[in-house]
Structure 1
Amino acid sequence: MNVTKWLGAVLLSVLLMSTAACANTSTQENNQSENETASKESKDKTTAVETGNKSLSNIKVLATGGTIAGSSDSDTDTTGYKSGSLGIDKVIASVPQLKDIANVTGEQVANVGSENVDDALLLKLAKRVNKLLNDDQVDGIVITHGTDTLEETAYFLHLVVKSDKPVVVVGSMRPASAISADGPLNLYHAVKIASTKEAKGKGVMVTLNDRIASARFITKTNTTTTDSFKSLEQGYIGEIAGEVVSFYNEPTRKHTSESEFDVSNIKELPQVDILYGYQNDQKYMYDAAVKAGAKGIVVAAAGNGTMSTEAIKGATDAVKKDVVLVRSSRAGNGIVTHEKMDDEHHFVSSDSLNPQKARILLMLALTKTKDPSKVQAYYEKY
């Protein structure tokens, strides 16, 4: 090989090696740059999820279903819709304005009509609420719920939540698919209330139709109208006008962090049945409830808790079999006063609790005692 050809081969080899080295260096630099970018994006994304807007409250929305998550093929159908057909993500997404007032995240606990909320779901929900409220990153909780039994769930939580942080239960009377659905604004209001410092220590609250009520006193009074939820005798504790949340009253009965009821280790609630009082009612209803395993009976009695002779016979026999008997009223409002008959037959009077709420309190009372005098004290305290 002559010198010229040899030098040419050497130069070509050096050139190829140099090009390969440059390419490898460039690839390493690009890979490093891509990794740094991905790491930064991942870090930024994690930060956004964990902290959101630091100037806003962190509100958790727990969904159980109901009309607020209901839909129908017709936007004029306000009665024949399917409850609990939308997931909480869709419900939250339908109110984009929420992002302006709080860092909102949703969780689907259940998706049923509230007529199907049972004791097991009550316990599951209560335990989840208490766990979340123990988290310093959670400032308040909103619970979406069907309206038919909303007051029962709200009152149960009012008695077993162990925190002063705001808990607001909300529903709607019209499905999400309806013209002028009330759910979106009700949800907005619920988050607004839960984000308000003044809402702390008020116990569990219920909001619909611009009103704020204590779970202790609110009740559903109409089957379909949007102003169905009332706190007739005791009044509301506040209201929302525009963007302003105003509180006027404080609940005086014991609740939440002041309550002695703790369900953290309870797996099953005692069976409590409600029996309706009417003309010509009979003893066999009480016998049947006892036979079916009732540990407590609430009577939705007439007037001031009055009971027929046959009903008293059935109730007295039930008490002799270690069943606690509570007299409430079907009237809808007013106090069922403690009478001489209560002392004679070892009955309990429900104070101002309606039958469905009297049942809630009796279930919890029975986790503590079966002594009628001690149970009576709970009705006077809570």
Structure 2
Amino acid sequence: MCPPPPAASAGRRIPGSGAGPAGPDGRHGTPSLRAAHADWSADPRKDGRHGTPSLRAAHADWSADPRKRWISVATRGAAGWVAGAPRLVGPVETLLPDLLADGAPLALGLDLPLGLPREYAARLGAAPAAATVVPMPSLRDAPDFPAFLRGLDAGSAFFAVSPGLDTVSPARPFYPARGIRGMTRAAHAAALGLSGPAALSRLCDRATAERPAGAPLFWTLGANQSGKAAIAAWRDWLVPALGATPAAGAIPIRLWPFEGGLRALLAPGAAVLAEVYPAECLRQLGLRLGGSKRAQAPRRALAPALRATMARLGVQASPALDAAIADGFGADAAGEDRFDSVIGLLGLIAVLDGARPDFVPDDPWVRRWEGWVLGQTALPRDMPGAPARDMPGAPACWMTSGLPARGRGRRATANGRFLVVGRTSRIRRPGSASGCLCGVCPVPSRPSTEPSSAQESGMATTIAAKPRVAFIGTGGTMSSVGKGPLDVNDYGANNKRLEAAEILAAVPALAEVADVFAVPYKAVLSPDIDFADWRALAAECHRLAATEKGLAGIVIGHGTATLEETAYFLSLTLRTDIPVVVVGAQRPISALSTDVGMNLVGAVRVAASPEARGLGALVLLNDEIHAARDVTKTSTLRLQTFRTPDFGALGHADGDRVAFYRRPVRRAAPDTEFDVAALDAIPRVDIAYSYAGSDGTAIRAFVAAGARGIVQAGFAPGMNTPGDHAALREAVAAGVTVVESTRAGSGRVVLSTRLREAGILSADNLTPQKARILLALALTRTADPAAIARIFETY
């Protein structure tokens, strides 16, 4: 039998944790990510502290040796995040006062354990008072780990490392002080009265499908041990700081996840501490070192990818940090520590901004005693009877059955990202009446040679065969939450949006067609998107194609205002044949009869289709598959807004299959000559619009502003007013490339004698906005009119 759940947890609502009665957003008390920030704003002018950063994030790479403690700090103000260069932590007494000097809320990541193994915690509560050698809190005195720390004395023998097994006890758990005969973790566990060596570890310490197991908390020997760092931090810093009284000027310290959700805990003048490991952050951010992180060369080689990751997260490096990144953080031994502090900081920011989920298993022992690693979404793979990697369902016992809605209906896959699945089902292990999978119950584990539950059910092969598809959420209508189900027009005023992982969780049918995972990416309003965003999206697609083994396709969620332009840019610049499908929605995800679900499912199915390879970027809305070159938005509100006027859709994503009926003949990704990876900007190209009586004023203004190209949205099939025509001739004479399109929205521009004599080129049948993109890219390669004309005839 499991030890009973902590009694204090019954009916207890943990703010921001997902536990408790249903809240206003219908997710069992889980506050919306934006609502968690309601007491302070990203805009300093709105939070009552003009000029004060709205949030500070920091990560300290901790060590028992103060000379190896490095910290990186970033502040978020109205312009976004700005990160500074790593520096030494310095005296622990001044660490929090310095970071909180201006009153901005602080989130601080630490690469050391925060929590106790559940069986050890249960052992403390079960031990009679007479058996306690030195005064220390027990489960009877402390309802959770923060209270346990507050009840400790910094001078307690609890922090003394036992030299031998004869001195190990629940009151003195750290061991060994040095290498000795009989020094095994099994013997250590037995000395603590635990059931076995696995009981020394918390759930978050155990091996997952994406990383090996971490060292147990109380183990203090070896290169990978974390016990010494825990002792140094708990004894010298946390215990005194947590035990200080408000009268003594104590800073409010809150420990995640014991006291609530990360963003719900943030408050002015207070610090939120979380367990963060740079090695996991490196993997979660999609960064891969080409060698040991202890060497300067691999760190230096990672600089471009690291800068791209910071750009995706909206983090600007200070000049000092940028120089450190370029240098690989130095050639001395501390370079590794400086590097780790920056990687940990970026991992923390990814969770703070919603690019990674603030995931914690719905398990009272985890939430009250064991803790969790911030950003980790993979569950231990050695849990007795746990589901196979791709089997729907989740561990179920008194700890994990009856999950609130936040945990039900989705799980963490082996690659550490959310895969939306059906409702959590209870899985019974053969030979176990309780079906307990918690890892604490004294029941034997399934032998490794015995088939898993998934294999027994015949499901493992079926599920594992599902294609893997990446989902990059950039925002837009499909991420928006309105004020109610009938709010389908002014939903933006509600200023509430879902992150990519939350969108996936809201569409459980995705699990039936693919293994879909969310990719961390910053949100950007569709009207705000520009070349820098396009370049970053292209780089992210290339990174995914190069690093995600077995990736079938990529789906990009996008606002519909500029969706067709983003899709066409990607179709002209991507160097991979992996399908990239851009998808949007006309009704927000909160609306009655929203189109988000079917559009997203259709886009994923198209991205996973082998027939979609080599067609360039595609657009999917309203079940229709369109080529990025030809599609355009034709209606402000109607669901069937995206059309290909001249030629029609390429095919359809129907309920039973993806059906293609034609293929584009114009060049597109990956068969492209354009490369923007090294460009800081593309040449300025403006669009001038013809109307009755237009006199060329706009054209001359664009030339004066430095335009290298002008696309004229003229009258069909290729005519302009006398005033515009004269201004266009002047522009050509000044060395500006002019391309004639049409305001009609479809049809080919006829290159008349009048246009040819003026030196004006034809956009063929490209809309003005598409012609602008192609002309800008053409100008990155040539200014020769004949060469540009060839490009317009080819793409």
- Normalised to the residue count of structure 2, the TM-score between the two structures is 0.44
Deviates more, 1:84-93 or 1:43-52: 43-52
SS at match of 1:212: strand
Counterparts of 1:217 and 1:178, CA distance in 2: 29
Paired position in structure 2 for 1:304: 717
1:96-115 equivalences under 5 Å are: 96-115=508-527
Contact 1:123 1:267 in 2 (8 A): no
Quote the offset at 1:41 in angstroms: 4.3
Counterparts of 1:173 and 1:254, CA distance in 2: 30
Counterparts of 1:96 and 1:267, CA distance in 2: 40
Structure (1 or 2) with the greater helix fraction: 1
Residue 77 of structure 1 aligns with an amino acid whose one-letter code is: D
1:209-358 equivalences under 5 Å are: 209-358=622-771
In 2 relative to 1, CA 43–353 (structure 1 residues): closer, same or farther, beyond 3 Å? same
Quote the offset at 1:249 in angstroms: 0.6
In 2 relative to 1, CA 371–23 (structure 1 residues): closer, same or farther, beyond 3 Å? closer
Paired position in structure 1 for 2:788: 375
Residue 370 of structure 1 aligns with an amino acid whose one-letter code is: A
SS at match of 1:316: helix
Question: Structure 1: which 5+ runs fail to align?
Answer: 1-16
The alignment status of 1:132 with 2:297, answered yes or no, reads no
Counterparts of 1:349 and 1:126, CA distance in 2: 28
In 2 relative to 1, CA 89–50 (structure 1 residues): closer, same or farther, beyond 3 Å? closer
1:60-79 equivalences under 5 Å are: 60-79=470-489
- Normalised to the residue count of structure 1, the TM-score between the two structures is 0.89
SS at match of 1:110: coil
Structure (1 or 2) with the greater strand fraction: 1
Paired position in structure 1 for 2:575: 162
Deviations 1:153-192 (A, max 9, x none): 1111111111111110000000111100001110011111
Counterparts of 1:136 and 1:111, CA distance in 2: 22
Quote the offset at 1:71 in angstroms: 1.7
Deviates more, 1:106-115 or 1:366-375: 106-115
Of residues 49, 58, 62, the one that matches 2:468 is 58
Counterparts of 2:703 and 2:773, CA distance in 1: 18
Deviates more, 1:251-260 or 1:75-84: 75-84
The alignment status of 1:32 with 2:197, answered yes or no, reads yes
Deviations 1:58-104 (A, max 9, x none): 21111111111112112111110117722111111111121232221
SS at match of 1:85: coil
In 2 relative to 1, CA 232–366 (structure 1 residues): closer, same or farther, beyond 3 Å? same
The alignment status of 1:119 with 2:531, answered yes or no, reads yes
Paired position in structure 1 for 2:607: 194
Of residues 74, 84, 90, the one that matches 2:502 is 90
In 2 relative to 1, CA 352–30 (structure 1 residues): closer, same or farther, beyond 3 Å? same
Contact 1:67 1:84 in 2 (8 A): no
In 2 relative to 1, CA 33–271 (structure 1 residues): closer, same or farther, beyond 3 Å? same
Counterparts of 1:128 and 1:39, CA distance in 2: 29
Counterparts of 2:205 and 2:500, CA distance in 1: 30
Residue 198 of structure 2 aligns with an amino acid whose one-letter code is: S
Paired position in structure 2 for 1:207: 620
In 2 relative to 1, CA 24–133 (structure 1 residues): closer, same or farther, beyond 3 Å? closer
Contact 1:84 1:113 in 2 (8 A): no
Contact 1:85 1:111 in 2 (8 A): no
In 2 relative to 1, CA 40–243 (structure 1 residues): closer, same or farther, beyond 3 Å? farther
Residue 27 of structure 1 aligns with an amino acid whose one-letter code is: A
Quote the offset at 1:301 in angstroms: 0.4
Counterparts of 2:473 and 2:198, CA distance in 1: 43
Quote the offset at 1:334 in angstroms: 0.5
Counterparts of 1:38 and 1:226, CA distance in 2: 46
In 2 relative to 1, CA 185–35 (structure 1 residues): closer, same or farther, beyond 3 Å? same
SS at match of 1:258: coil
Quote the offset at 1:37 in angstroms: 9.0
Residue 498 of structure 2 aligns with an amino acid whose one-letter code is: L
In 2 relative to 1, CA 96–24 (structure 1 residues): closer, same or farther, beyond 3 Å? closer
Quote the offset at 1:197 in angstroms: 1.6
Deviations 1:125-159 (A, max 9, x none): 11211222223522210000011111111111111
CA RMSD of superposed structures (Å): 2.4
Quote the offset at 1:324 in angstroms: 0.7
Counterparts of 1:84 and 1:156, CA distance in 2: 28
Counterparts of 1:353 and 1:338, CA distance in 2: 14
Quote the offset at 1:234 in angstroms: 0.9
Residue 579 of structure 2 aligns with an amino acid whose one-letter code is: P
Contact 2:687 2:710 in 1 (8 A): yes
Question: Whose RCO is larger (CA < 8 A, sep 6+)?
Answer: 1
Counterparts of 1:372 and 1:98, CA distance in 2: 48
Contact 1:168 1:206 in 2 (8 A): yes
Quote the offset at 1:23 in angstroms: 8.9
Counterparts of 1:215 and 1:25, CA distance in 2: 61
Paired position in structure 1 for 2:414: 49
